[in-house]
A = this chain, B = another copy of it.
């Protein structure tokens, strides 16, 4: 995540001015994630200990300190709206549409994260499902808006390469977003204990790398391609 940030920011001079705000935000998203993953790493190390007794097999034990999943939700509360805004910015829609889409998707996605947290920290499966369902309302709204909105924006891209990258961004968004509700369900279907906790953390981490770093590389590729098209004069900046 940290390397992705540095990559995006070092690439700022290589894109035209129109795409620098999108690329700056892309780097901020992975920077915020870097910070929270360090917190998550430390919280994890404090919650579990690995040791071998008398030179025997290694075993994982609880230390008694809780593993704090709150870092993940604070991270999402900040990064998910920013991720959507970077995607909207790189599409370079008319200004009024950019502002209105940013507000609608930004607020809906923050609401989605906020509604997911009360369920995440619950052991009671019914309560977990209740918050999952509530959180899925803004989730569906955002994913649907993106799937439809990006299909339209894709057809307006200035070159076939840009259109194919925008289409890849669309599929990656839907794929990586849909991972989260399924990972959330790992514990809701009654799985518990160390294995469920591990799968949940691996799942969220993989989805985060896809949704932030890999998605960011796509945003950069779109920005670089559109900058090249603009600079070659095939398209006048609108």
Contacts and interface: CB of A to CB of B under 8 A. Distances in A.
A55 B62 contact: yes
Given A6-B28, A58-B66, A66-B52, A14 B14 contact: no
- List the number of copies, as a whole number: 2
Interface string A208-236: 00000000000000000000000000000
Interface centre among A7, A25, A55, A62 (most CB of B within 10 A): A7
Interface string A29-46: 001100100000000000
B3 A28 contact: yes
Interface stretch (A16-24, A138-146, A149-157, A189-197): A16-24
Interface string A46-64: 0000111101001000101
Contacts of A11: 21, 24
B64 A52 contact: yes
The A interface is mostly helix, strand or loop, or mixed, namely helix
Interface residues of A, number: 30
Contacts of A66: 50-52, 58
Interface centre among A12, A35, A64 (most CB of B within 10 A): A64
A213 to B, nearest CB: 10
A9 interface: yes
A10 interface: yes
Contacts of A62: 52, 55
A65 interface: yes
A24 B50 contact: no
Contacts of A27: 6
A3 B32 contact: yes
Contact of A51 (B3, B7, B58, B65): B65
Contact of A21 (B14, B28, B65, B78): B14
A16 to B, nearest CB: 12
Contacts of A52: 62, 64, 66
CB-based closest 7 A-B pairs: A3-B28, A10-B24, A51-B64, A58-B66, A52-B64, A3-B32, A50-B66
